[in-house]
């Protein structure tokens, strides 16, 4: 048994009451000014004020003592929505978008997601692996210790399974915990444009059973949006996924208010993501059903759209989580510090709310709350040391990265 003591730390952590932190609980942060964490075999064995933790260790042998030099100490970030398995970036499309061509228009013309689909079809697994691992290690350096990665640039059985195999392999080659999601219904392939229902049938009858057999994906997701998948098509796919025992989530009300938030509530999805255009009625339905709102402020930034109404959602009792949405189109960032800054400065969350959203609530989105998301006895010793006194540094140091050290299971995995 290896025992380590991290001492002289200014610890900030959300409080895990056994469910996602909604409403007022989203602001609840425990702070130990002179804190310490005792780690045994990669797990948190004790946490609290330094003198109390040290006195509780008694005569126990401590193999390593790490002086945190009074730095701010927080849980590792959990990023619950990424598309970071892709083959190529789409800088040309970014130029088009900043000249005013809408994101959905580019998709309609066969670009956007569909251009990433062509790139993935041409790439072999090694090429996909290289890009994905580079994105993941960049995320790790900026403090992400657990994340989700979606498929969705395959859009046929062979290429969706190929993406999921790559996601499994990168998970085995990095220290991060990875939760794979199947997103076969990410766009309608051009050959199905006149008969999208036939594509929906392909997802339900062929792709989903194959994904289930392969056994890698834990969740199924759908892009419910005008010109992509309708509410009833999304319902059909998500219900079939539930029937196979997959968890469900949904890209909802990103550009147009189609009612995806309401569908998430109706089906008991773990989360509805984006929600830039969601109605108050559906916010209330989500709150009642316990759906987590996963907000993606870098997508609003990149699409030059107003942010989701995060404060309003919290006031109405929703639990809010934050994610990068890392992808080559609408949000080319892996940086949770950037997301934290946007959440505080552009969405008006307090640093406490943003901390809960980017750690505890996002761990709940991924079903990783027993292992990650807060600094509690029995959870993994996944934590960050920040340059600065409080988590506010993440918003204050705009464009910088105040993450000085990243620990996964008590081991240093990135020292900046």
Residue ranges for the binding site for Zn(2+)?
A: 81, 83, 251, 325
* Minimum gap (Å) between residue 325 Cβ and ligand NIG: 5
Q: Identify which range of 171-179, 328-336, 358-366, 403-411 contacts ligand NIG by CB under 6 A.
A: 328-336
8 A C-beta contact, residue 113 and residue 186: yes
Out of 4, 71, 162, 251, name the contact with ligand NIG by CB under 6 A: 251
Tokens of 374: 């807060």
| Partner interacting with residue 180 (select from ligand NIG, Zn ion, none; CB below 5-8 Å by kind) | none
Binding interface with Zn ion (CB under 5 A) = 325
Within 8 A by CB and 6+ apart from 134, the residues are none
**Can you tell me the distance from the alpha carbon of 321 to that of 78, in angstroms, rounded to the nearest whole number?**
9
* 162 belongs to the binding site for ligand NIG (CB under 6 A): no
8 A C-beta contact, residue 225 and residue 104: yes
* Minimum gap (Å) between residue 228 Cβ and ligand NIG: 8
**Can you tell me the distance from the alpha carbon of 124 to that of 159, in angstroms, rounded to the nearest whole number?**
10
| Partner interacting with residue 254 (select from ligand NIG, Zn ion, none; CB below 5-8 Å by kind) | ligand NIG
Burial 44-66 (b: 16+ CB within 10 A, else e): bbbbbebeebbeeeeeeeeeeeb
8 A C-beta contact, residue 21 and residue 356: yes
Within 8 A by CB and 6+ apart from 230, the residues are 224, 258
Q: Which residues are annotated as a binding site?
A: 81, 83, 90, 153, 186, 251, 254, 325, 327, 329-330
* 249 belongs to the binding site for ligand NIG (CB under 6 A): no
Closest CA to 364 of 250, 299, 269, 297: 269
Instruction: Write phi, then psi, for 182 (nearest 5 degrees).
Output: -90, 125
**Can you tell me the distance from the alpha carbon of 163 to that of 161, in angstroms, rounded to the nearest whole number?**
5
Per DSSP, the three-state class of 157 is helix
* Minimum gap (Å) between residue 331 Cβ and Zn ion: 8
Out of 72, 78, 113, 240, name the contact with ligand NIG by CB under 6 A: 113
* Minimum gap (Å) between residue 78 Cβ and ligand NIG: 17
Closest CA to 150 of 242, 235, 216: 216
* 116 belongs to the binding site for ligand NIG (CB under 6 A): yes
* 83 belongs to the binding site for ligand NIG (CB under 6 A): yes
* Minimum gap (Å) between residue 183 Cβ and ligand NIG: 8
Q: Which residues are annotated as a binding site for N-formimidoyl-L-glutamate?
A: 153, 327, 329
| Partner interacting with residue 329 (select from Zn ion, ligand NIG, none; CB below 5-8 Å by kind) | ligand NIG
Q: Identify which range of 41-49, 162-170, 235-243, 323-331 contacts ligand NIG by CB under 6 A.
A: 323-331
Burial of 36 (0-12, 13-18, 19+ CB in 10 A): buried
- Contact set for ligand NIG, span 271-300 (CB under 6 A): 299
Out of 112, 259, 262, 391, name the contact with ligand NIG by CB under 6 A: 112
* 223 belongs to the binding site for ligand NIG (CB under 6 A): yes
Instruction: List residues bridging with 148 in a β-sheet.
Output: 179
* 328 belongs to the binding site for ligand NIG (CB under 6 A): yes
Instruction: Write phi, then psi, for 222 (nearest 5 degrees).
Output: -140, 145
Beta strands in 120-256 (DSSP E): 144-150, 177-185, 219-224, 247-252
Closest CA to 140 of 336, 281, 282, 311: 336
* 327 belongs to the binding site for ligand NIG (CB under 6 A): yes
| Partner interacting with residue 116 (select from ligand NIG, Zn ion, none; CB below 5-8 Å by kind) | ligand NIG
**Cα angle value 93/97/101 (rounded, 5°):** 110
**Choice between 112 and 341, CB closer to ligand NIG:** 112
Give 76's DSSP letter.
P
* Minimum gap (Å) between residue 38 Cβ and ligand NIG: 40
* Minimum gap (Å) between residue 263 Cβ and ligand NIG: 16
Q: What element of type H or E holds 122?
A: helix 113-122
* 254 belongs to the binding site for ligand NIG (CB under 6 A): yes
* Minimum gap (Å) between residue 255 Cβ and Zn ion: 12
Give me the residue whose beta carbon is nearest to Zn ion.
325
Give contact residues for ligand NIG (rule: CB under 6 A).
83, 112-113, 116, 223, 251, 254, 299, 325, 327-331
């Amino acid at each position: 048994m290896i025992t380590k003591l991290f001492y002289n730390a200014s610890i900030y952590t959300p409080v895990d009451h056994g469910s996602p932190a909604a409403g007022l609980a989203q602001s609840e942060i425990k702070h130990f000014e002179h804190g310490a964490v005792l780690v045994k075999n990669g797990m948190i064995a004790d946490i609290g004020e330094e003198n109390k933790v040290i006195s509780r260790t008694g005569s126990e042998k401590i193999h390593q003592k790490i002086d945190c030099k009074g730095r701010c100490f927080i849980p590792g970030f959990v990023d619950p929505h990424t598309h970071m398995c892709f083959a190529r970036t789409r800088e040309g499309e970014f130029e088009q978008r900043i000249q005013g061509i809408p994101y959905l228009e580019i998709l309609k013309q066969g670009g956007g997601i569909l251009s990433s689909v062509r790139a993935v079809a041409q790439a072999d697994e090694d090429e996909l692996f290289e890009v994905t691992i580079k994105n993941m290690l960049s995320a790790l350096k900026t403090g992400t210790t657990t994340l989700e990665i979606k498929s969705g640039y395959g859009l046929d059985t062979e290429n969706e399974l190929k993406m999921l195999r790559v996601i499994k392999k990168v998970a085995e080659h990095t220290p991060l915990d990875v939760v794979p999601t199947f997103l076969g219904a990410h766009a309608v392939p051009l050959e199905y444009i006149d008969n999208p229902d036939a594509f929906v049938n392909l997802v339900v009858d062929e792709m989903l059973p194959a994904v289930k057999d392969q056994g890698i994906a834990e969740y199924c997701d759908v892009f419910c949006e005008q010109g992509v998948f309708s509410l009833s098509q999304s319902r059909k796919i998500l219900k079939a996924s539930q029937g196979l025992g997959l968890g469900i989530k949904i890209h909802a009300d990103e550009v147009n208010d189609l009612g995806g938030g309401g569908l998430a509530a109706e089906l008991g999805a773990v989360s509805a993501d984006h929600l830039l255009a969601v109605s108050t009625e559906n916010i209330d339905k989500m709150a009642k059903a316990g759906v987590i709102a996963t907000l993606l402020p870098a997508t609003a930034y990149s699409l030059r759209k107003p942010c989701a109404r995060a404060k309003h959602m919290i006031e109405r009792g929703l639990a809010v989580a934050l994610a990068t949405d890392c992808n080559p189109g609408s949000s080319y960032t892996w940086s949770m510090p950037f997301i934290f800054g946007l959440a505080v400065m552009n969405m008006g969350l307090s640093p406490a709310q943003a901390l809960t959203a980017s750690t505890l609530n996002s761990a709940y989105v991924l079903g990783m709350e027993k292992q990650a998301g807060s600094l509690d006895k029995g959870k993994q010793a996944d934590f960050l040391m920040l340059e600065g006194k409080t988590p506010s540094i993440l918003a204050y140091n705009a464009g910088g990265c105040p993450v000085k050290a990243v620990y996964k299971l008590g081991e240093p995995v990135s020292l900046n």
